[in-house]
Structure 1
Amino acid sequence: MRVGAHVSMSSSKVTSDETKPPHGNIANAVCRQVAFGGNCGQIFTTSPQVWQDPDLSDEEVELFVNETDEKLDGPWVIHSSYLVNLCTPKDDLRAKSIASMQTEVDAADELGIEYVNVHLGAHTGAGVEGGLDNAASALDELDIPDGVTVLIESDAGSGTKLGGDFEHLATVLDESEQDLDVCIDTAHAFAAGYDLSTEEGVEETIEEFDEVVGLEHLKCIHLNDSKHECGTNKDEHALIGEGYIGEEGMSAIINHPELEDVPLVLETPTEDGKGFAWNIARVKELRENGE
C-alpha cells in the first residue's frame, strides 16, 4: 500500500513534527514523510497563498531526488497554489494561473515528480459550461514536460466552484488536448453529495466514477474524513475514521480492490494529539491485509 501525507518542506518544526527536520530545503519533505510512516506524499513548492515561483537550487534538487529514491516508494504530488483559478473568465487571473501552473510542471520535471495536482476553480459568473471550457483551454496553454501529468482534483462544490460533479472532471479531460488524469478527494466528494460512509455507497460511487470518468484516470486519492455531512458542500477535513465518512466508509475505500494500487495522500488535521503519524497508522490498521 502506498500511503503518505501532505508534508511541509519548512526548515522549522511544525505541528506534526516530533523533532526539527535536518535540512534547510525541500529535502525536509522526505525526512518528514519517513518520520510519519509514509512512503509517498504531496508538497507545496512555495507558499500556496501567494503568487510565487519555486526557488530550487541544484544542490537541494539533487538531495531531494536522492533521498526520495533511497527512502520512499513514491509517487510525490505537487499541489498547485490555492490562487490558481483555471475556470475564471478574468484575463489577468487566467494569465497568472497559467504562468503559475507552468512553473509547477517545470518544477515537477526538475524534481522527478510525476504529478501536479490542481483544482479547477470557480467560474464566477461564466457558467458551468463556460468555466469548464476556460479550464480546458487554460490547461492547453501549458507546455507539460514528458513524465509529468496534471491531475484535476475533485471539489466540494460550494458557490461557483467546479469539480464537485464527476461530469465536470470528465468534460475537462475530454475537451483538453493534454493527457490529464484525476485526483479524488474523499472529503470533497462526500461534501459534494457522493455518500462514502458505507460499503454500499463507496461501491456505487466507484461504479459511477468509472462510468463517467474512467478508473484508468484515477491516479491519486486525497484520503480525508469529513467534519460535515454528505451533500453540505462544506470542505473541512477530519481525522481518519472520526468524521462523517467514518470507519466503515474509510475501510471500504482503503480495501476496495479497484483502488488498491492508487496512492493515498492524507491532508488530515492535527488535533487532539493526533497528527499525520497517527492518521497514517490508522490507515494501515484499517487495511485488511496490513500491507
Structure 2
Amino acid sequence: MLRLGPHISIAKGFYQAAKDASQIHANTFQFFTRNPRGGSAKEIDPKDIESLKELMNQQDIAHLLAHAPYTMNPAAQKDDVYAFAKSTFSDDLKRLEKVPCCLYNFHPGSHTGKGVEYGIQRITTLLNDVLTGDEKLHVLLEGMSGKGTEIGSTFEELRAIIDQVTQNHILGVCLDTCHLYSAGYDIVNQLDDVIEQFDQIVGLDRLKAMHLNDSKVPFGSHKDRHEIIGQGTIGIEALSRIINHPKLRHLPFFLETPNELEGHGKEVATLRALYKSEA
C-alpha cells in the first residue's frame, strides 16, 4: 500500500486536517508542530485528538509526521537561538505524546560560519540533553540541499550526528527528493547507487520517511526550491521509480510541493496510478 499525503495545516485542529487528507484520498499527512516562522504553539484539545484517532481508524490513516519549525536551529552559535531550539525541541516532544504521531522531523540546522564540526557538536549536545530514550516516536534528521552553511546535506554528516547521540536508537532519517538531487545525489540516473551509498553510510534501517518533491533547480545546485510533481528537473518517471523501488516503497511519502489541497489531490491521484502492486 502506498502511504502518501501532503503537508496540512492544523490551524483548525487535527481532526479537520485528517478530514482534509481523506478528502483527497491521502492516507497520511505532515503538519508543523507550531507556527513554522515563529515560536507559538496552539494548545492541544483532547477532544480533537479523540476525534482524530477515530477518523484515522475509519480511513486507515497512519504514520503522521510532525515537522519542527524552520526557526529552530540546533546548530546555532548564538546562545539565545540555541536556547530557543532546545526549549522548542523539548516542548514539541512532550506535546506529541498526546498525538497519535510516530515521526518527528527537524532540520539539523546551520553552523552560520563556525564550521561543520562545530555545528554537529552543537546538534548532538542538544539531542543528548533532550532525548531520554523513552520517546514513543522516531526523531528524524532531514537530509538538506546544502545551501549556505546548512548541515546534513551529505550522508556522512547525518551519520556523524547519529554516532554522537547516546539515545540514537530513536534517531532516523527523512530524505527529501528535491534536497537529495540539489545536494548532488543523482536519484534520476543512479537511484540504486544512491540507495546503496545511503545504506553503507547511514543504514536503510534508519530511513523512516521521505519528502516527495520535484525540483525547480538543476542537479547539484545546492538550492532548496520545491516543484509540483512532474513539473520539475527530477520528473515524474524518476519519482515513479522512487515510490516503486523495493527498498523504498514501504515508506510513508509526504508532499511538500507548492500546491493547495486540490492540487495535492491531483498529485496523489497521479502517484497512486503509477504505484504498482507488489507481486
**Is 2:49 aligned against 1:61?**
yes
Partner of 2:4: 3
Aligned 1:105-254 pairs, distance under 5 A: 105-143=93-131, 145-178=134-167, 179-198=170-189, 201-254=190-243
- Quote how far apart the aligned CAs of 1:105 are: 1.3
Aligned residue for 2:94, secondary structure, equals helix
Aligned residue for 1:181, secondary structure, equals strand
Change (3 A) 1:135 1:226: same
- Quote how far apart the aligned CAs of 1:252 are: 1.4
Unaligned runs of 5+ in 2: none
CA distance in structure 1 between the aligned counterparts of 2:232 and 2:92, rounded to whole angstroms: 32
CA distance in structure 2 between the aligned counterparts of 1:166 and 1:280, rounded to whole angstroms: 29
CA distance in structure 2 between the aligned counterparts of 1:85 and 1:132, rounded to whole angstroms: 11
**Is 2:62 aligned against 1:71?**
no
Partner of 2:246: 257
- Quote how far apart the aligned CAs of 1:274 are: 6.4
Which has the higher mean CA deviation after the structures are superposed, 243-252 or 210-219?
243-252
Aligned residue for 2:229, secondary structure, equals coil
Aligned residue for 1:116, secondary structure, equals strand
CA distance in structure 2 between the aligned counterparts of 1:216 and 1:227, rounded to whole angstroms: 30
Aligned residue for 2:130, secondary structure, equals coil
Aligned 1:13-24 pairs, distance under 5 A: none
CA distance in structure 2 between the aligned counterparts of 1:274 and 1:35, rounded to whole angstroms: 9
- Quote how far apart the aligned CAs of 1:210 are: 0.5
Partner of 2:31: 43
Partner of 1:275: 263
User: Deviation per CA, 1:167-194, whole angstroms, max 9, x where unpaired?
Assistant: 1111111111123100000101111111
Please say if residues 78 and 104 of structure 1, whose CA atoms lie closer than 8 Å, have aligned partners that are also in contact. no
Return structure 1 stretches of 4+ with deviation > 4 angstroms: none
Unaligned runs of 5+ in 1: 12-24
User: Deviation per CA, 1:54-98, whole angstroms, max 9, x where unpaired?
Assistant: 411222222222222322331001000110001112221111101
Q: 17, 34, 46: which one pairs with 2:22? A: 34
Q: Which amino acid aligns with 1:250?
A: L
Q: Which amino acid aligns with 1:204?
A: D
Aligned-pair RMSD on alpha carbons?
1.8
CA distance in structure 1 between the aligned counterparts of 2:4 and 2:234, rounded to whole angstroms: 18
Q: Which amino acid aligns with 1:220?
A: A
CA distance in structure 2 between the aligned counterparts of 1:232 and 1:255, rounded to whole angstroms: 26
Q: Which amino acid aligns with 2:114?
A: A
CA distance in structure 1 between the aligned counterparts of 2:130 and 2:138, rounded to whole angstroms: 11
Using the size of structure 1 for normalisation, the TM-score is 0.90
Change (3 A) 1:290 1:261: closer
CA distance in structure 2 between the aligned counterparts of 1:66 and 1:73, rounded to whole angstroms: 10
Q: Which amino acid aligns with 1:223?
A: L
Please say if residues 67 and 104 of structure 2, whose CA atoms lie closer than 8 Å, have aligned partners that are also in contact. yes
CA distance in structure 1 between the aligned counterparts of 2:54 and 2:127, rounded to whole angstroms: 31
Please say if residues 284 and 290 of structure 1, whose CA atoms lie closer than 8 Å, have aligned partners that are also in contact. no
User: Deviation per CA, 1:180-228, whole angstroms, max 9, x where unpaired?
Assistant: 1000001011111111223xx1111111111110000000000111011
Change (3 A) 1:276 1:59: same
Please say if residues 24 and 262 of structure 2, whose CA atoms lie closer than 8 Å, have aligned partners that are also in contact. no
Please say if residues 182 and 223 of structure 2, whose CA atoms lie closer than 8 Å, have aligned partners that are also in contact. yes
CA distance in structure 2 between the aligned counterparts of 1:54 and 1:117, rounded to whole angstroms: 19
